[in-house]
């Protein structure tokens, strides 16, 4: 599945949470998750279909009819209705991000949580373990680290836990991890060796 930045996921989370809440009410969470994954995979694998949904030259009514024809009767009405809302708001390209956000919500329901980490260099295993420990203690959930190396960062970490902002106590603990990472990279650079992840 494609990766999305924090702002895109935050908007996708609005749609996903509304869908998720309705799916819980109707006891359709597992089925809806599987259908969403299938639709996202279809969009990912069929470039023509993705281009059709994303095209500004194709009017919303044509997209609406296509979504109805493809999915009504084959997928839950909740999914098709949600796709139509996404279409009306001209966010068809966002369907994959909504599927990713929905999966994050389901992971949280099952006792896990996605932790998205952006750092200037790859995290070493010791930093990953400390991060897991801090997040597990704070949230009571089993963290799954999704790591992205972003060389445009000067140093440190940018961390997003699920769809929530960090509170001050977690931010302080994570600042210590950030300092550790920066110190390790600095030692490697000043030591004249190419930086290697631990």
Of the pLDDT bands very low, low, confident and very high (cuts 50, 70, 90), residue 75 is very high
Structure confidence at residue 34 (pLDDT): 95
Cβ contacts of 198 within 8 Å, gap of 6 or more: 124, 125, 126, 127, 184
Residue whose entry in the numeric block shows the structure tokens 């550790």: 180
Domain residue spans of the chain: 6-106, 111-190
Q: What digits encode the pLDDT tens for the residues 20-44?
A: 999 999 999 999 999 999 999 999 8
Tell me the helices (H) and strands (E) count for the chain, helix number first.
8, 3
At 1 the pLDDT is 45
Query: What distances in angstroms separate CA 195 from CA 84, 131, 157, 180, one per listed residue?
Result: 49, 21, 17, 14
Q: What is the mean pLDDT of residues 183-192?
A: 62
Phi-psi region of 148 (alpha: psi -120 to 50; beta: other; left: phi over 0): beta
Domain at 111-190: CATH architecture: 2-Layer Sandwich (3.30)
The residues pairing with 146 across neighbouring beta strands, listed in sequence order, are 116
- Give the integer Cα–Cα distance in Å for 135 and 139: 6
pLDDT digits (tens, 9 = 90+) for 124-141: 888 888 888 988 988 888
Place of tokens 């009571």: 140
Question: Between 3.40.50.10490, 1.10.520.20, 1.10.4190.10, 3.40.50.2300, what CATH number should domain 6-106 receive?
Answer: 1.10.520.20
Please indicate, yes or no, whether the overall pTM of this predicted structure exceeds 0.75. no
Is residue 161 pLDDT above 70, yes or no?
yes
* Residues pairing with 148 in the sheet: 118
Whether the pLDDT of residue 173 is over 90: the answer is: no
């Amino acid at each position: 599945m494609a990766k999305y930045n924090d702002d895109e996921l935050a908007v996708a989370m609005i749609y996903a949470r509304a869908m998720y809440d309705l799916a819980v009410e109707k006891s359709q969470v597992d089925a809806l998750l599987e259908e969403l994954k299938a639709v996202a995979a279809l969009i990912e694998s069929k470039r023509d279909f993705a281009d059709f949904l994303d095209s500004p030259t194709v009017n919303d009514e044509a997209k609406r009819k296509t979504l109805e024809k493809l999915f009504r009767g084959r997928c839950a009405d909740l999914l098709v209705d949600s796709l139509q809302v996404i279409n009306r708001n001209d966010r068809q390209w966002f369907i994959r991000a909504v599927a990713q956000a929905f999966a994050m919500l389901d992971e949280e329901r099952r006792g896990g949580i996605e932790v998205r980490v952006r750092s200037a260099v790859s995290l070493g295993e010791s930093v990953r373990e400390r991060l897991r420990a801090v997040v597990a203690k704070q949230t009571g959930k089993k963290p799954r680290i999704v790591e992205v190396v972003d060389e445009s960062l000067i140093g440190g970490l940018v961390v997003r836990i699920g769809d929530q902002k960090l509170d001050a106590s977690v931010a302080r603990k994570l600042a210590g991890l950030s300092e550790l990472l920066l110190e390790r990279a600095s030692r490697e650079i000043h030591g004249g060796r190419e930086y290697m992840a631990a």
